[in-house]
Chain A
Amino acid sequence: MEKMPKWADVVLIPLISLILAAILSALVILAIGENPIEAVKLMVTGALGSTYGWGYTLYYATNFMFTGLAVAVAFHARLFNIGGEGQAMLGGLGVAMVCLYIPWPHWSIALLAACAGSMLFGAAWAAIPAYLQAKRGSHIVITTIMFNFIAAAFLNYVLVNLMRPPGAQDPSSARFPEAVHLPTFQSMFSTAENVVFKGTPVNITFFIAVLACFVVWALIWRTRLGYEIRSYGKTETGAVYAGISPVRITIIAMLISGALAGLMAINNVMGEAERLVLNATEGAGFIGIAVALMGRSHPFGVFLAAILFGFLYQGGAELAFWTSIPRELIVVIQALVILFTGALDNMVRMPLEKLFLSLRKGAQ
């Protein structure tokens, strides 16, 4: 017998966790001597009150959709891919190589090639931890953490020693040619008299992220592979008994996860920076963890959670601009969301389950 109705599991628990995280964040803001209600007002107007705000909110959300989906796919196979950060960094390298070393006639073809390049590099970076987990039993969490650091050192080397144009000071690649610049929302939705999304980095990649949500949903719930991934994640012994190979599922799930994380690079590297810089990912790989937990590993949940975190990021930047609250407030909120929706899940769940059980007893 189910202890709770499904809607409580899908909607109520994340909502309560979010409210708990919000209350604690408000207390933190109070403790550093600022007004939480004013702060929320500033964040809402800054992130959602104009197309400028939305432009940044959706840009961040695009990043988080990719990394959130990456973590979510791995979660379905009960793998914790903490290496989204490193995979997204390598994805950036793939995008940079596609954009810099091949002359493209049009951005649309370049975008397809960049998608392939970023997914290939992201998946490749996830492949070694995946193989080690599947074949040698090395814990995926530890290996992917290590691979984040190795990726950072590797990219540092590539940018400083190989990709930096002669004479340039800062460690970054050359600018991408004009032909591979992606259309931004500003160029797509503005009319002559009404310029919207002015100067914001949100670009066509947003739609690719939404498409990725659909594709992942179809993959997980509508294909044989998705079924195998889910059943392996639910019970390993049951899956083995049904003839599902743990080695195969572990490697495939991690490759998909790495490819999704790598795909983020078409947004931040090709769409925004238009060159490869150090630390281009800015922690988006880790925010994917919070997004996947908050979204209950469902693509639609990931979509909503990514928008929420995009709002928090843009709102946080506005807060830092107008008040003395530093941007790190967002990191605290992110930590609280991970804590309540992930680690302290049972703290919210157990009393609710008791409540629903007693309600049901009362009804009988």
Chain B
Amino acid sequence: MEFFITFIQVLDSTIRLATPLLLACLAGLYSERAGIFDIGLEGKMLMAAFFSAAVAAVTGSVWLGLLAGIASSLVLSGLHGLASITFRGNQLISGVAINFLAAGMTVLVAQSWFEQGGRTPSLFGGGRFTPINFPFAESLSVVPIIGPIYSELLSGHSILVYVAFLMVPATWWILYRTRFGLRLRAVGENPAAVDTAGVSVVGLRYAAVAICGVLCGIAGAYLATALQAGFVKDMTAGRGFIALAALIFAKWRPWHAMGACLLFGLLQAIALRFQNIDLGGVVIPVQAMDALPYVLTVVILAGFVGKAVPPRAGGEPYVKER
């Protein structure tokens, strides 16, 4: 029974840790499916984490914080769009610049506004997203097996967790069942064909980059106002890159993205709880768990276990023929 409780607790923490990965991963999915590579997910999340925490700390309203986070992430998205769509620059270099911009600006502004060494004041009360308890969660928790699953695992997360997981079917539906989704995928594979059909390549790509910004904004706000209570320097800690890894692992598909993010979330949860794992003589060091998402991604990229083929027009600026 004790094992079962531990098991449920690890899964519960998996869901919490997978949420920012999933939001960022879906963000990247929209952008890359439209042909805009985005290695600036990390930076956008970080920027949103700071501005959501800062506004939530000042106003006391987490919802205003969320809006500010999304807005700040959208600004960076706009910059990425400007560089990679309008001025047809190198999308990867633009992403690198955005990551540094966020890493520097967040600490600079945090120091200037709050003077607490690059962090925001701790959030409390209305400044944080509180857990949502499902009906009867309390009374059902005593029921064996189902009780803990219902009240511990499924109930008691903040609203953003449910939003993130609902975004998976929503993204699937948008991409594969709507006209916008068809065009978005087409613009990532063959923009010239979309152009010939009289649909704006630039417009579609900006739309995709904007959706990416909104989702990264939610991811950052979740980190600073739900998972933790406030912003600290570099708090994304490589999550944007793990999300990127998950995206490749999932081969740019929404349901698989959820699977990959849950897997990587599970690895983080295990590393957080157990440190070094002793498997009857063979000790798996905690660093191996840290490195595993990246190793798995390289293996997938290498094509030894299935091949990850990115959208065909990804990374290429579209030049309209004259």
**A residues lining the B interface (CB < 8 Å):** 28, 31-33, 80, 82, 128, 132, 136-139, 141-143, 145-147, 149-150, 153-154, 156-157, 160-161, 286, 289, 293, 324-326, 328-336, 338-339, 342-347, 350
From B84, B108, B301, B302, give the contact of A343 (CB < 8 A).
B84
**Shortest beta-carbon distance, A28 to chain B, in Å?**
7
Chain A interface, DSSP helix/strand/loop, else mixed: helix
Once bound together, how far apart are the Cα atoms of A161 and B96, in whole Å? 33
Report the minimum CB–CB distance from B88 to chain A (whole Å): 6
CB of B241 within 8 Å of the partner chain: yes
Closest Cβ of chain B: how far from A262's Cβ, in Å? 19
B238: CB under 8 A from chain A?
yes
Q: Which chain B residues border A350 with CB–CB below 8 Å?
A: 87
CB under 8 Å from chain A, chain B span 157-193: none
Partner of A344, one of B87, B105, B291: B87
Residue among B244, B288, B301 with max Cβ neighbours from chain A (10 Å): B301
Which A residues are in CB contact (< 8 Å) with B277? none
- Chain A residues whose C-beta falls within 8 Å of the C-beta of B87 in the assembled complex: 343-347, 350
Pick the interface stretch among B2-10, B200-208, B217-225, B292-300. B292-300
Cα separation A333 to B108 with both chains bound (whole Å): 12
Q: Is A339 a contact partner of B83 (Cβ separation < 8 A)?
A: yes
Q: Is B104 an interface residue (CB 8 A)?
A: yes
Report if A343-B97 is in contact (Cβ < 8 Å); known contacts: A132-B298, A139-B301, A143-B301: yes
Q: Which residues of B contact A150 (CB under 8 A)?
A: 291, 294-295, 298
Contacts of B35 in A (CB 8 A): none
Task: Tell me, yes or no, whether B155 is within 8 Å of chain A by CB.
Answer: no
Given the contacts A146-B298, A157-B288, A328 and B248 also touching, CB distance less than 8 Å: no
CB-defined interface of B220-249 with A at 8 Å, one 1/0 digit per residue?
A: 000000000000000000100100110010
User: Given known contacts A145-B241, A335-B101, A339-B83, is B96 in contact with A286 (CB within 8 Å)?
Assistant: yes
* Residues B96 and A289 in contact, CB atoms below 8 Å apart: yes
* Interface assignment of B121: CB less than 8 Å from any CB of chain A: no
Are A132 and B301 in contact, CB atoms less than 8 angstroms apart?
yes
| Contacting pair A345 B89 (CB below 8 A) | yes
Chain A residues near B25 (CB-CB < 8 A): none
The interface residues of chain A lying within 8 Å CB-to-CB of B115 are: 324
The contact string, 1 if C-beta is below 8 Å from chain A, for chain B 34-65, is: 00000100000000000000000000000000
Measured in the bound complex, the distance between the Cα atoms of B300 and A137 in whole Å is: 12
Partner of B287, one of A33, A156, A335, A345: A156
